Structure 1
Amino acid sequence: MGGWIRVGICFGTAVMLISLLLSGEISLFVNPRLKWLVALSILMLIILGLVQLWNLKAEEMHHIGFWGYALVLLPILMFFFLPPKALDANIAAKKGVSYLTPQAIASQQKLAGKNQANNNSTQDSKDQNEQDQETATNKEPEFANIENPYKKFVKQIKAEPVITLTEKNYADYLNTINMYPKEFSGKKIRLIGFVYRDETLKKNEFVIGRFTVTCCTADAGVVGLLTTYPGAQHLKLDQWIEATGTVQTIQPEGYDMPVIKLTSYKTISPPKDPYIYFNY
């Protein structure tokens, strides 16, 4: 009996992966660049399944209990009874959404560090501040000559009549706009994403977000652009939209931060592959 279960596990897992590859739903779990590894896994599983068939009549070397098989069978059963589903705004709320510029994030971290230091003694705070200043002074020359890899995109983006964020350039363009917001102030922009909102945003604010995946959905993060719109409160959480607006610059933390002034939008269906990927 155990032999047949092992055969079922090998071929069942192979069938599951083949189905995900053919349907394109494999991108809901792993970066498309890793498809070749999935294909290699399918080949190995088929070989292992054939080996298990060959050894069906052989005596088992050691007994494997029910729970040992159940843990391996669980993903296969879940695949056949629970259809694959993309990450949504509920997951985004748990992971947190990054729509601040790196400078603004650094400012918040610095402020949090100061508040933590205030809870310590005056002498400890003084020593810590001196140490931070010394560290910053020592690090400045080290990074002074390092060129920002996104600087090369500034000229390219500014040349476009309308900044259009596509699946291929989304991550690179988004990071460039975040790092050089003043360069794009007044430019029209078009992008798609899902609506995200939390209690920290005003009634006329929301974030047009996208999930980024490096390896698999376990490491997925959420990025987006803060957007203002008078009817923002009427947009539903997790609603996918194609938005058009104008890039503006604000200074909520004393640093330049891009924000989209929405001029128009339309509701769309989620793309087949809702994730975006960094071009490493």
Structure 2
Amino acid sequence: MKFHFQHFLKALLLGMFTLFFANLHITGDITKYVNPKYDYMSKMAAIFFFVLLLIQVTRIWQEKHARHACSHKCNHDHGDSQWSLRRIVSYSIVAFPIVTGFMIPPATLDSSIAANKGFLLTQDSNEGRGGEERTSLLEGAKSLVEKENIDIYSSEHIPLPNENYLSEEEYDGKLQLLQKSESIHMTEDMFSTYYAEINDNPKSYIGKKIKMSGFVFKEEGLASNQLVISRFLITHCIADASIIGFLTEIKGADTIQEDTWVEIEGVIEVGNYNGSDLPLLKATSLNMVEEPSEPYIYPVLKLLGK
């Protein structure tokens, strides 16, 4: 029997990838990388890596005569090829993401990412921190929260942390509740839809009470009594994360640090920022709260029955 170190190394890498994906699902950290709607894809990846691992393990120890003789110049690896700089670089590239995945714990997106993703209120895309180009998320509120039709009987009907799978009847009922109620609660399941509706028709909601939670984000140019109560909207994965939230006025806003999670109650008014009308929350109370276990917001998924 001959031990093939390179086959062992490949098996080790496959085992680490399998363990990494399995650990994300066991701990629930998978939601810090992708919309839970797609977690079945990472489960499939874990199964795929595990199958490859089982195949690779059988190649680590082989009879010496088991290796066939190539009468021609072959390109496949027998597991005992000579080490070269090119081979070392190849293994390093494969190992890097899994090593960093284990060494660097997943972190929640915060205001520093929000500043790089794009300003929430800035209308001039050529101005802002660092002078980089940024687009207004206020103008694109509707496009951020398009409903997606999901067959209720399909394999994609997987419960999400914020339970934002809604039947058409449930969705329409909650939207009507927003329009008729004098008190609005920005719950996670309808947060993105309510946000888009209020931004699209701010004058229709003047005087209504509102309750919401989020993290504090501050833009350059805000007054000392202003801040933005924000959430990250995840459509597919954190790579497409967008910050959404409301400009809020409250006494002592300048003493509240960015990334602090707060819960506020207030009244909706219409303000003007950089020449555009937008919802302005006049906070009547503000309380510091712990960051929720599921800090992200996901688009509403509308279920289709038979």
Q: Which residue pairs with 2:142 in the alignment?
A: none
Q: Which residue pairs with 2:103 in the alignment?
A: 81
Residue in structure 2 matching 1:14, options 9, 14, 18: 18
Corresponding residue SS for 1:275: coil
C-alpha RMSD of the superposition = 2.5
Partners of 1:85 and 1:250 lie apart in 2 by 34
For residues 103-182 of structure 1, the aligned pairs below 5 Å read: 155-182=176-203
Question: Is the Cα–Cα contact under 8 Å of residues 195 and 237 in structure 1 kept in the other structure?
Answer: yes
Question: Is the Cα–Cα contact under 8 Å of residues 120 and 243 in structure 2 kept in the other structure?
Answer: yes
Question: Is the Cα–Cα contact under 8 Å of residues 114 and 243 in structure 2 kept in the other structure?
Answer: yes
For residues 221-260 of structure 1, the aligned pairs below 5 Å read: 221-252=242-273, 255-260=276-281
Higher helix share: 1
Question: Is the Cα–Cα contact under 8 Å of residues 232 and 297 in structure 2 kept in the other structure?
Answer: yes
Alignment of 1:210 with 2:214, yes or no, is no
* Structure 2 letter corresponding to 1:74: F
CA separation of 1:243 and 1:161: change in aligned 2, threshold 3 A: same
Q: What is the CA distance between 1:154 and its match in structure 2?
A: 5.6
**Cα shift readout 1:42-93 (whole Å, capped 9, x = no counterpart):** 1101001011112224653475712211122122222322211111111111
Corresponding residue SS for 2:230: strand
Partners of 2:121 and 2:35 lie apart in 1 by 23
Q: What is the CA distance between 1:99 and its match in structure 2?
A: 4.3
Partners of 2:239 and 2:272 lie apart in 1 by 33
Q: Which residue pairs with 2:87 in the alignment?
A: 65
**Cα shift readout 1:98-135 (whole Å, capped 9, x = no counterpart):** 247xxxx5xx68x99xxxxxxxxxxxxxxxxxxxxxxx
Partners of 1:93 and 1:247 lie apart in 2 by 25
**Cα shift readout 1:174-221 (whole Å, capped 9, x = no counterpart):** 000000111111011011110011212111111011111111111111
Question: Is the Cα–Cα contact under 8 Å of residues 196 and 237 in structure 1 kept in the other structure?
Answer: yes
Q: Percent of counterpart pairs with the same letter? A: 30
Corresponding residue SS for 2:259: coil
Q: What is the CA distance between 1:159 and its match in structure 2?
A: 2.8
Partners of 2:176 and 2:201 lie apart in 1 by 11
Q: Which residue pairs with 2:59 in the alignment?
A: 55
Alignment of 1:97 with 2:101, yes or no, is no
Q: Which residue pairs with 1:201 in the alignment?
A: 222
Corresponding residue SS for 1:16: helix
* Structure 1 letter corresponding to 2:237: C
Question: Is the Cα–Cα contact under 8 Å of residues 262 and 289 in structure 2 kept in the other structure?
Answer: yes
Partners of 2:22 and 2:205 lie apart in 1 by 44
- Number of residue-to-residue matches in the alignment: 237
Q: What is the CA distance between 1:18 and its match in structure 2?
A: 0.9
TM-score (normalised: structure 1): 0.77
Corresponding residue SS for 2:210: strand
**Cα shift readout 1:239-274 (whole Å, capped 9, x = no counterpart):** 000111110012445553111001111111111121
* Structure 2 letter corresponding to 1:54: T
Q: Which runs of 5+ in 2 are unaligned?
A: 68-76, 128-145, 148-171, 302-306
Partners of 2:199 and 2:56 lie apart in 1 by 54
Question: Is the Cα–Cα contact under 8 Å of residues 120 and 244 in structure 2 kept in the other structure?
Answer: yes
Partners of 2:220 and 2:275 lie apart in 1 by 22
Q: Which runs of 5+ in 1 are unaligned?
A: 113-148
Partners of 2:288 and 2:57 lie apart in 1 by 52
Partners of 1:19 and 1:192 lie apart in 2 by 29
TM-score (normalised: structure 2): 0.71
Partners of 1:23 and 1:2 lie apart in 2 by 31
Alignment of 1:264 with 2:285, yes or no, is yes
* Structure 1 letter corresponding to 2:240: D
CA separation of 1:28 and 1:164: change in aligned 2, threshold 3 A: same
Partners of 1:99 and 1:208 lie apart in 2 by 12
Corresponding residue SS for 1:168: coil
